[in-house]
Amino acid sequence: MTLTQKILAAHVSGKKQLSAGDMIMADIDLVLGNDITSPVAINEFEKAGCCNVFDCGKIAMVMDHFTPNKDIKAAEQTKKVREFARGKNINNFFDVGEMGVEHALLPEKGLVTAGDIVIGADSHTCTYGALGAFSTGVGSTDMAAGMAYGKAWFKVPTAIKFNFHNKLNKWVSGKDVILHIIGKIGVDGALYQSMEYGGEVKNLTIDDRLCICNMAIEAGAKNGIFSVDDVTLKFLSECGAKQPKIYNADGDGDYQKIYDIDLAQIQSTVAFPHLPENAKTFDEFGDIEIQQVVIGSCTNGRLSDLRVAAEILKGRKVHKNVRAIVIPATQKIYLDALNEGLLTIFIEAGCAVSTPTCGPCLGGHMGILAEGERCVATTNRNFVGRMGHPKSEVYLASPEVAAASCLTGKITSPQTL
């Protein structure tokens, strides 16, 4: 069995062995929802006549997409979730003041551990595979069923294995790795499958791994998952996560395909509009002028992302044609960045720095693009209209490329500064 299949099997009572294609009803360790998907789930929960949640400690609700509320409708949605969470004693309800972008927040709060099954009514729930959990995005009805019964159905997936070798070069990070992989296999290259990562994973930080797993969905995958090592265990214990359960794949024989990825060969990579698979390296394109840069999101709004952006921006000025927006992904990251002096560097360079929110990542608020505008973003999607006008363009890149591009007003490789 693959690593994913092992975790699934451990969550189906009386099952030791699973095969790809089996349909299962599995017990889940955590159910997640946000301010967009939870209201729909609450509707379904109530419509079905459910009264109680299966376990008020195993549900997390994070108000992150349109918060602090951008308009009256968003405020009504959040209010509905807040009242539900209070009524059901859901303590892991994170509102303005303690919230963060959900997929940065849950690991930081120690709510996910290795060996868990996590479902979330948000497609980037696949992020927690970085910690050795099986985690996957589902819809609101699944969330409602998860809240009521603590169960979710799955079709047991096949998997693709990626074995890493060597180390990343300076100014190259997890984002370049995943954009490179999606460029190689395509936006449906792992459809209905797991993406499992092994080999020399010790050379990738937890933040790199979270970023790599975050974008598994952009290759159509059910989940992305790293094998657990000392780096994972250290992170989990620092966050106060529950006791990890470590599973291992039986061997490479159970994988449909195996790729060897030489980290040392990976270069800064940019995904052009309007699909994450349109990955290009800097030798493949010329000057592209931009009007906005966004550094943030569940993909790259973590402390290490802000650190590297600050390293590039320190003592320099954002180009006059560029609006640079920096959004720390959680309150803790915001505070750490403040204490480390990173926010001063950003503000002195001419960036706008905001409280945590998804904001512009999904075209919600805090940096919407006008017709014809281009943005370099450290986010994960560049679909038509994703950040605003249907005729605007989003170029996905690492925080290194985003920060370098702030300075020149063009999509810029950090190596050339």
Partner 1 sequence: MFIKGKVIKYGDNIDTDVIIPARYLNTSDKKELAAHCMEDLDSTFIKRVKSGDIMVAGKNFGCGSSREHAPIAIKESGIACIVAKSFARIFYRNAINTGLPIIEYDGEIDEGDVIEIDFDGGKIINQTKNKQGSIAPFPPFLQNIISEGGLLNSLKQGG
Site residues (vs ligand SF4, CB under 6 A): 64-65, 101-103, 122, 124, 297-298, 358, 361-362, 379-380
CB of 387 to partner 1, least distance (A): 9
Q: How far apart are CA 225 and CA 130, in angstroms?
A: 6
Helix (H, G, I), strand (E, B) or coil at 140: helix
149 interacts with partner 1 by CB under 8 A: yes
**Is cis: bond before 124, omega within 30 of 0?**
no
One DSSP character per residue, 54-108 reads S-TTSEEEE--SSTTT-SHHHHHHHHHHHHHHHHTT-S-EE-TTT-B-HHHHHHH
Contacting residue, 15, 27, 43, 245, with partner 1 by CB under 8 A? 43
CB of 107 to partner 1, least distance (A): 19
338 interacts with partner 1 by CB under 8 A: no
Q: How far apart are CA 17 and CA 9, in angstroms?
A: 6
144 interacts with partner 1 by CB under 8 A: yes
CB of 142 to partner 1, least distance (A): 6
Q: Given CA atoms 306, 308, 313, 314 in this order, what sign does their dihedral have? A: positive
Contacting residue, 140, 232, 330, 412, with partner 1 by CB under 8 A? 140
Q: Are 83 and 77 in contact (CB under 8 A)?
A: no
Contacting residue, 187, 233, 239, 288, with partner 1 by CB under 8 A? 187
Options 47-55, 81-89, 288-296, 330-338: segment touching partner 1 (CB under 8 A): 47-55
295 interacts with partner 1 by CB under 8 A: no
Q: Are 101 and 358 in contact (CB under 8 A)?
A: yes
222, interface contact from ligand SF4, partner 1, none, CB < 5-8 Å by kind = partner 1
Residue 258, C-beta contacts closer than 8 angstroms, at least 6 positions apart:
160, 161, 162, 163, 252
Residue 87, C-beta contacts closer than 8 angstroms, at least 6 positions apart:
none
CB of 228 to ligand SF4, least distance (A): 24
51, interface contact from partner 1, ligand SF4, none, CB < 5-8 Å by kind = none
- In the complex with ligand SF4, the residue whose CB is nearer, 392 or 412, is 392
258, interface contact from partner 1, ligand SF4, none, CB < 5-8 Å by kind = none
Residue 206, C-beta contacts closer than 8 angstroms, at least 6 positions apart:
130, 131, 231, 232, 235
Q: Tokens for 98, please give them.
A: 């303690």
79 interacts with partner 1 by CB under 8 A: no
Q: Which burial class, exposed, middle or buried, applies to 129 when counting CB atoms under 10 A from its CB (0-12, 13-18, 19+)? A: buried
CB of 327 to ligand SF4, least distance (A): 9
Q: How far apart are CA 135 and CA 116, in angstroms?
A: 8
Please give the residue ranges that form the binding site for partner 1 (CB under 8 A).
23, 25, 36-37, 39-40, 43-45, 47-50, 65-66, 70-71, 73-74, 77, 120-123, 125, 137-142, 144-145, 148-149, 151, 153, 155, 187-188, 191-192, 217, 220, 222, 275, 362-364, 381, 383-386, 390
